A and B are shown apart, each in its own frame.
Chain A
Amino acid sequence: MTRPLSLLLTLAICSLLIPSCTKKEEGGHAKIIGVTLLTRGHVFYKDLEEGLRTEAVKNNYELIVTAGEFDLGKQIAQIEDFVARKVDAIIVCPVDSKGIGSGIRKANQAKIPVFTADIAAFEGDVVSHIASDNELGGKRAAEYLAKVLHGKGKIAIINQPTVTSVLDRIAGFKKELEKFPDITVVADVNGDGVRDRSLQVSSDILQAHPDLDGIFGINDDSALGALDAVQQFKRKNVVIIGYDATPPAVAAILRNTSLKADVVQYPKKIGSSTISAIKDYFAGYSVEKRYAVEVGIVDREALRKIPVQ
């Protein structure tokens, strides 16, 4: 009894999928692009998906959007399905930079071009990687901090030195600071990118440096942890810069706290740039190995004009 039932269910599900398959026949030679995102449950990826879709519509590409939902096995299976369907290109936001290699290699064997967006893959052949320019993000943070501090003061970094994108942010940050010899980095500590640890290390820094002027948090949890510490010790003069402009950080900036500005990424632009790179590839143009998408910085003034989310 259960077996016919499950068979029936499978058939029903398949029949639901068929309309999306047949669509391409009508379009004639419309290119099909398979997409597997990290997740569809996060605003950042929703925006990235929107960027992909708007640009794909412009170019008459058909997108098949799936997501690994933090499950590497699932994501590899999705790539295998794309290979079986003989799509024209595959876009991956890897669940795991190393583990995704085996999936990408399967696409390589089938001679289907692979593009990565937002998160890079360390193994397999990838035509191009499109992601935020983290170095520029660090530079923007440094510029802003230097402007608020009038080019002079003592600052600290709440770091997470085990993550590659963070290392890029710090590199850009420090490079920009070289232009301001009167700004010194007096502390560079690891907050593990989480709010509770960042609070702990920030309170230590505030103890060690009673004359601290600014803090750069490599992500919003680091910056918010620093803000917790600054509020605890009532050190209102310390300026904090965060990264990512998540809702709690945006709220803190709008409340006029010590968190003064945040670096923002533009996920929609990452999406549209990815499709543009694929378009260039289809047209036979040479494609850069890496496309860095610009980032911006928002403070209270900017947020009041255009809300981020």
Chain B
Amino acid sequence: MVMSNSSRTLSSVLGKFGIGMTLLVEVILFSQFSAYFFTAENILNVSLQLSITAIIAAGMTFVILTSGIDLSVGALVAFTGVIATSVLKLSIPLLISFPLAIVVGLLIGVCSGAFAGVCVTRFSITPFIATLALMTIFRGAAYMYTDGRPIWGLPPEFSLLASGRLFGIPIPTLITICVYGAGYLVLHWTRFGRYVYAVGGNREAARLAGINTNRVLVSVYAICGVLTSLSGILLAARVNSGQPNAGLMYELDVIAAVVVGGTSLSGGRGTIVGTLLGAVLIGVLRNGLNLLNVNSYVQQVVVGLVILVTVMMDQSKKK
């Protein structure tokens, strides 16, 4: 246990170094080619853009650390968005409907995550299948609920949640910083955090060591769910409407951020700081390519290549 602990930190430091290099190269290149890239306004813009996937990726890190996966996040973003926005459409004072929308939205995430956790533990369904099913259920439910049309005409105050700034920094960016701060504390400074690593490293050994592995698993999926719903609410505020087709394929962006950040899909190894760097790497890449007006077909290939190269560097350092 002690051995794997120290080797884990070593490899994760090297992993971070690898991704740090890629990120640095990226930033230097984009600054060279676009005058608008390295400006305060664009940096805040990128931070705002990547906040949506970064917040989900923080939750996904917990899940992947236990060697699980959550494919339902993109659909959950849409479902939370349409439900939260329809709460805002109720004819009750904004002072009540605003907090109610947020509470209802977050509750959806907690319940969905806990349900996925129960499927994985009590019913022994593999995480891939359990969350795949939830993905299509939520996407279908979002379309059913809205009849395929967006929910719009929301109170303008709602969009402040995404467009508002505190000390000059966009609110979603601040929320992202808080989420990662809290995630870091939980993962590295609490007993629960150590349990997460233990369950991912060897679930049976963790169980024999007296850890309630089922409770840990249900908790990580619930954490992922609530952070996904938080993102869903922020996204709905950004587009000032509930879109049933929001968050399409977000699960892949999020998983890519986690893996690029050095977390192993087989569990037990990785850090939340790595995930943040992974999310930044991909977010900056997308932004930079758009600034340079790179063709969208080419963009997809470039993003895929960068993911591959980063993970390759990470893997070779571990050997």
Residues of A in contact with B (beta carbons under 8 Å apart): 41-42, 159, 161, 186-190, 192, 194-197, 199-201, 203-205, 207-208, 210, 221, 224-225, 228, 231-233, 247-248, 251
Question: A228 and B45 in contact (CB under 8 A), knowing A200-B286, A204-B287, A208-B36?
Answer: no
Given A203-B45, A207-B36, A231-B163; 4 other pairs, CB 8 A cutoff = A161-B297, A196-B247, A204-B290, A207-B41
**Which of chain B's residues have a CB closer than 8 A to the CB of A200?**
49, 286
Bound Cα distance A196, B153 (Å): 17
CB distance from B270 to the nearest CB of A (A): 26
Question: Known contacts A196-B239, A200-B49, A203-B49: does B246 contact A186 (CB below 8 Å)?
Answer: no
CB distance from B302 to the nearest CB of A (A): 13
Instruction: Name which of B125-133, B144-152, B216-224, B271-279 contacts chain A.
Output: B144-152
List of A residues within 8 angstroms of B49 by Cβ = 200, 203-204
Most A C-beta atoms less than 10 A away, residue of B34, B239, B241, B291? B239
B42's nearest neighbour on chain A, judged by CB, is: A207
Q: Are B240 and A228 in contact (CB under 8 A)?
A: yes
Check A199–B239 contact: CB distance below 8 A: yes
Docked-complex contact A188 and B293, CB < 8 angstroms: yes
A interface, over-half SS: helix
Cα distance A247–B153 when bound, in Å? 10
Separation in Å of the A93 CB from the closest CB of chain B? 15
A196 touches B34 (CB 8 A): no
Contact check: which of A190, A197, A208 meets B291 at CB < 8 Å?
A208
Among all A-B residue pairs, the 8 with the closest Cβ atoms = A190-B296, A204-B290, A208-B291, A248-B152, A207-B42, A195-B239, A196-B246, A187-B293
How far is the CB of A108 from the nearest CB of chain B, in Å? 32
Residues of A within 8 A of B299 (CB): 190
Task: Give chain A nearest CB distance to B231 CB in angstroms.
Answer: 11
A-B contact pairs, 26 of them (CB 8 A): A41-B147, A41-B148, A159-B296, A187-B290, A187-B293, A188-B295, A189-B290, A190-B296, A194-B243, A194-B246, A194-B248, A195-B246, A201-B290, A204-B45, A204-B49, A204-B290, A207-B39, A207-B41, A208-B290, A208-B291, A208-B292, A210-B36, A225-B239, A228-B238, A228-B239, A228-B240
Which A residue sits closest to B243, measured CB to CB? Answer: A195
Interface residues of B in 242-272 (CB under 8 A from A): 243, 245-248
Partner of A204 from B52, B243, B291, B297 at Cβ < 8 Å: B291
* Chain A, Cβ-Cβ closest to B295: A188
Measured between beta carbons, the chain B residues less than 8 angstroms from A42 are 148
Within B24-62, the residues touching A (CB, 8 Å) are 34, 36, 39, 41-42, 45, 48-49, 52
Q: How many residues of B contact A (CB 8 A)?
A: 35
Q: How far is the CA of A224 from the CA of B235 in the complex (A)?
A: 14
* Alpha-carbon distance A208/B33, docked complex (angstroms): 11
- Cβ–Cβ < 8 Å partners of A161 in chain B: 296-297
A196 to B237, CA, bound (A): 11
Q: Which residue of B lies closest to A200 (CB)?
A: B49
Q: Given the complex of chains A and B, what is the CA–CA distance between A207 and B241 in angstroms?
A: 24
CA distance A203 to B43 in the complex (A): 12
B291 and A192 contacting across the interface, CB-CB below 8 Å: no
* Interface pair A196/B243, CB less than 8 Å apart: yes
Inter-chain CA distance A213–B292, complex, in Å, is: 18
- State A23–B292 Cα separation when bound (angstroms): 65
Is A186 within 8 A of B238, CB to CB?
no
Chain B window 45-86, contacts with chain A (Cβ cutoff 8 Å), 1 for yes, 0 for no? 100110010000000000000000000000000000000000
Given A195-B239, A200-B49, A228-B239: A186 in contact with B293 (beta carbons within 8 A): yes
- Whether the pair B163, A232 counts as a contact (CB closer than 8 A) is yes
* Interchain CA distance A200-B45 in the complex, whole Å: 9
**Interchain nearest-CB distance for B141 vs A (Å):** 15
Bound Cα distance A203, B287 (Å)? 9
Q: With A and B bound together, what is the CA distance between A248 and B239 in angstroms?
A: 12
Residues of B within 8 Å of A188, CB to CB, are 293, 295
**Also in contact, A192 and B248, with CB within 8 A (given A207-B36, A207-B45, A224-B239):** yes
Alpha-carbon gap, A248 to B48, bound state (A): 24
Chain B contacts for A233, CB-based, 8 A: 41
A251 CB to nearest B CB, Å: 7
- Known interface pairs A207-B36, A207-B42, A232-B163. Does A195 touch B150 (Cβ–Cβ under 8 Å)? yes
Q: Which residue of A lies closest to B43 (CB)?
A: A207
User: Which chain B positions have C-beta within 8 A of A192?
Assistant: 248
Asked if residues B293 and A196 are in contact (CB atoms below 8 Å), the reply is no
B241 pairs with A195, CB closer than 8 A: yes
**Interchain CA distance A196-B287 in the complex, whole Å:** 15
Task: Please measure, in the bound complex, the distance between the C-alpha atom of A23 and the C-alpha atom of B153, giving whole angstroms.
Answer: 46
With both beta carbons as reference points, the residue of chain B lying nearest to A234 in the complex is identified as: B163
B164 to A: closest C-beta gap in Å:
11
Q: Judging by beta carbons under 8 Å apart, are A196 and B235 in contact?
A: yes
B150 and A248 within 8 A (CB): yes
Question: Taking CB as reference atom, which chain A residue is nearest B240?
Answer: A228
CA distance A205 to B238 in the complex (A): 17
